[in-house]
Amino acid sequence: MAYVIALAVTAVSATALVASVCALMQGYVIRGAVEGVARQPEAGGRIMITMIIGLALIESLTIYVLILGFSLLKNLPETAQVLSTVKGG
Amino acid sequence: MGIRFTRTVLGFALLAGVYVREASADVAAAPRPGEPSPWLFFFFSLVAFALLAAIAFVGTRRLEILPRGLQNLVELAMENLYNIPEMVMGPRGREYASFIGTYFLCIVVMNLMGLIPGMKPGTASLSITLGFGTVAIVAVQYYGFRAHGIKYLLHFLGPVPAMAFLILPIELISELVRPISLSMRLYGNISGEEKVLEAFATQVGSWGPLVASAVMAPLELLTSVLQALVFSILVSVYIALATEEDESERNPSVEAMDR
């Protein structure tokens, strides 16, 4: 039972933590990009493409942790099984 | 060996890599009942290839100076596909535009097929994305050797020869991680889309399907095209890094004639 709890809590909290840090850092990226466009509107297209690439690269780190979480969650038992174990115990 | 032979070999390598890994790993991991068979992704990826081949064939028949119809669409796509490597490495990107453009078209078509009910995106299979990533990095090494000869191996030693023994393992590891990062990014985004759409459409109350089709699917339109673009831009960046010319490789006598 502790195994199930540990699996679930680890998978979800790791993803949540990494996603929140990723969101903070992506905020910096967007701030830099918007300030750049504010200073020089002609470079807007180029800056936007660079910003998109940077965002996708940062997001990929969150995706790695998400995939780890999915592979952890695959080992969770079915809900019916868990309920029957709890009832029997 | 001409460029066409090389491209054909690379194309077959991609398909062979996909087939071998798919046959061995995905099918061996028996899915739970109710999950789609892994062969579905492979099938729909072949559907995507066939669709692209059909559009290319029909769009380039009887080419006219003033394009109409499908040729117009194909020319529009081609113009923007040339822009991707040119944006990354300038005018010398034109010779890699066919390679990068193939990646972009295949990935964007396979991603968008996930939004059509009844179809599955081919890129939601780790085998297929790993095939894309591995062939991309093998191709980067090929382009590097083609541009620099055997001296391409000096790229892994870093800028300062004194630190080479430290930098070599770092460079090797970062090079070998590239196919993994490329494939995991694409796989994670698209398979995450699949899982979210499925969860909203089946498991979340009565508002689920509405939210799925009105909110999540349009967001996934953005992600699908964006991930294809990011994949292509990253492969162009890797090619640009592998084939960039140092100052020492230019021939000063030849360049002086151009002044």
Which residues from B are below 8 Å from A59, CB to CB?
185
B244's CB contacts (< 8 A; 6+ apart) are B89
Distance from CA of B74 to the nearest CA of A (A): 23
* pLDDT given for residue B1 in this prediction: 47
pTM for the model stands at 0.80
Most confident of B73-77, B137-141, B248-252: B137-141
d(C-alpha A44, C-alpha A34), whole Å? 9
Complex ipTM more than 0.85, yes or no: no
Please indicate whether, in this complex, the C-beta atoms of B181 and A60 are within 8 angstroms of each other: yes
For residue B105, name the pLDDT band (cuts at 50, 70, 90).
Answer: very high
**Who among A52, A60, A70 is closest to B185 (CB)?**
A60
Distance from CA of B201 to the nearest CA of A (A): 19
Distance from CA of A35 to the nearest CA of B (A): 22
| Structure token digits, residue B219 | 């967001």
Which residues from B are below 8 Å from A66, CB to CB?
188, 192
d(C-alpha A78, C-alpha B34), whole Å? 14
* pLDDT given for residue A21 in this prediction: 96
For residue B195, name the pLDDT band (cuts at 50, 70, 90).
Answer: confident
Distance from CA of A81 to the nearest CA of B (A): 15
Residue B244 has pLDDT above 90, yes or no: no
Rounded to an integer, the average pLDDT of B30-41 is 69
* pLDDT given for residue A40 in this prediction: 93
Cβ B115 vs Cβ B108: under 8 Å: no
* pLDDT given for residue A23 in this prediction: 96
Residue B112 has pLDDT above 90, yes or no: yes
CA distances (Å), origin B191, targets B125, B126, B220? 8, 9, 11
More confident residue, B198 or B140: B140
Residue entry with tokens 């099984």: A81
Residues of chain A with pLDDT under 50: none
For residue B249, name the pLDDT band (cuts at 50, 70, 90).
Answer: low
- Averaged pLDDT of chain B: 81
For residue B55, name the pLDDT band (cuts at 50, 70, 90).
Answer: confident
Fold of A26-76: F1FO ATP Synthase (1.20.20)
Tens of pLDDT, residues B178-193: 898 899 999 999 998 8
CA distances (Å), origin B59, targets B7, B51, B74, B85? 21, 12, 6, 23
Q: What percent of chain B has pLDDT over 90?
A: 25
For residue B221, the SS3 value is helix
**Who among A56, A67, A70 is closest to B230 (CB)?**
A56
d(C-alpha A31, C-alpha A73), whole Å? 35
Ranking A72-81, B63-72, B139-148 by mean pLDDT, the lowest is: B63-72
**Who among B184, B227, B234 is closest to A64 (CB)?**
B184
Which residues from B are below 8 Å from A60, CB to CB?
181, 184-185, 188
Please indicate whether, in this complex, the C-beta atoms of B184 and A53 are within 8 angstroms of each other: no
| Length of chain B as a residue count | 259
Contacts within 8 Å (CB) and 24+ apart, A84-89: A85/A1, A86/A1
Tens of pLDDT, residues B144-159: 999 888 888 888 887 7
Residue B197 has pLDDT above 90, yes or no: no
